[in-house]
Amino acid sequence: MNNFITKEDAAAGSPAYRENSAPADGEIPSAAASGSSPAPARIGYLDAARGLAILLIVFGHVLKDGTLRQVVFSCNVPVFFLLAGQTYRFDPDFRRFALHRARRIVLPYFAVSLVSIALYRVLGQAAAGSLGVKTRSTTLLQDLFGMVYANSRNGFMKWNLPLWFLPCLFTTILLADAAERLLQEPTVRTRLILIFSFLACGFLIRQFLPSLALPWCIEIALYMASFYECGILITEKGLMKRLLRFTRRTRQLNVFLFVALLCGITIDISLANGFAQVRNMDVGRSFWLLTLSSVTGGAALLLLAVPLRKIQLLKRAGRGSLAILLFHKFPILFFQTICPGTKTLLKHGSSAGGILCALAVTAVTAALCLAVAVGLRVLWLRMPARTGRGTDPSL
């Protein structure tokens, strides 16, 4: 019998590990994390799950086409909102809550957006031409508008499309927090009603207003809030603690077989639904099939993260998921447009060679992003505000 549980997972069903923990290695530090209070211990399975999720995001962006890309896109974004919900903690002071999230999410978004726009103005058209992608020409003012409006569906975020996730996450957190404040410690029944209400909002928007593109991805956030609330429910009811007990009582082979079963179900649903992409509110043939594939894919990832949570490289990727999300477009473009060997192989993403190359590029891209984040963290720690020379370090 296999024992998957370590001391770091003892609090898996408790609210000890939360979104406002201090930055870890490979994670861009925020001003909100500079306080003197000790950071809560990280939960191994959650870091591993985030690592798997961010690697799926990068892998899907490396692939240009094919069935594998379709399957990855059917569940890779919703699972991130599910994981984010598991780290939610209610704060009675809404101003403090919102500012903390803004420092961790919005500030990195604007900083990397400005860098991305500058690079896009210089190299964007050349990169698009090398990839054989037709993009409409935008002015600097339009690019800046796209950054402030923060919704890639209007076509003004070509400079770094993956960044759409951050404003959408921020909006989702605010929506879920507003619901928490309104309902005040909801029961399981009330929370389930809330989850299906958010799902209904997403369905109605997709059904009757498919072209709607609101600021800060509000229309997508209404849909993703259902997964975020599921994450809150998982933590609130200690469901991961029960999952950890289940993995302790069963053989490791059985765990992997169950993961394989969930993956098979996800693949079947994805193939039946066709290509879907949350960023564009493209749900394929059915909104509900996309939702179902997101649930089964998310369940497979959560279950797989338990036995894999001892892999330090995977946990490092999870702790640095923000950095990977922010920067991964740049190395991917290099491998797709400049590097001779990978440039050729990635054009045939459905072949065995193309898939193996995409896996290698995914790993190298994640490592490069984490290295950049570590460098930025070192610079951050050497700033006067961090060393006591000048500004109050608590700001």
- Lowest mean pLDDT of 10-19, 120-129, 194-203, 267-276, name the range: 10-19
Phi-psi region of 7 (alpha: psi -120 to 50; beta: other; left: phi over 0): alpha
pLDDT band at 171 (very low <50, low <70, confident <90, very high): very high
Report percent pLDDT > 70 for the chain.
83
Would you state the pLDDT for residue 241?
85
Report how far residue 83's alpha carbon sits from residue 98's, in angstroms, rounded to the nearest whole number.
19
Mean pLDDT of the 7-26 span: 40
Report how far residue 63's alpha carbon sits from residue 52's, in angstroms, rounded to the nearest whole number.
16
Reported as half-sphere exposure (CB side, CA atoms, 13 A), residue 320 has a value of: 26
Report percent pLDDT > 90 for the chain.
67
| 35 has a pLDDT exceeding 60 | no
Per-residue pLDDT of 253-264, as tens digits, reads 899 999 999 999
Mean pLDDT of the 309-324 span: 94
**Residue 341, burial from CB neighbour count under 10 angstroms (0-12, 13-18, 19+):** exposed
| 4 has a pLDDT exceeding 60 | no
pLDDT band at 98 (very low <50, low <70, confident <90, very high): very high
Mean pLDDT of the 272-298 span: 96
Would you state the pLDDT for residue 388?
47
Would you state the pLDDT for residue 386?
53
Mean pLDDT of the 32-60 span: 73
Q: Which residues of 158-226 form beta strands (DSSP E)?
A: none
Mean pLDDT of the 219-236 span: 96
Provide the angle, in degrees to the nearest 10, between the axes of the packed helices 94-101 and 165-183: 160
- Lowest mean pLDDT of 196-205, 238-247, 331-340, 362-371, name the range: 238-247
Ordered DSSP codes for 306-326: HHHTT-HHHHHHHHTHHHHHH
Read off the amino acid at residue 393: P
- Lowest mean pLDDT of 159-168, 285-294, 306-315, name the range: 306-315
Would you state the pLDDT for residue 349?
75
Residue among 165, 140, 173, 126 at smallest CA distance from 326: 165
Q: Provide the residue ranges of all domains of the chain, joining segments of one domain with +.
A: 39-387
Would you state the pLDDT for residue 13?
45
Would you state the pLDDT for residue 7?
42
Q: Which residues contact 239 (CB under 8 A, 6 or more apart)?
A: 13, 233
If you count them, how many residues does the chain have?
395
For residue 7, the tally of other CB atoms under 10 A from its CB is 8
Would you state the pLDDT for residue 28?
37
Would you state the pLDDT for residue 25?
33
Report how far residue 110's alpha carbon sits from residue 103's, in angstroms, rounded to the nearest whole number.
11
Cα dihedral across residues 111, 99, 54, 224: positive or negative: negative
For residue 92, the tally of other CB atoms under 10 A from its CB is 7
Q: Locate tokens 């037709």: which residue?
A: 134
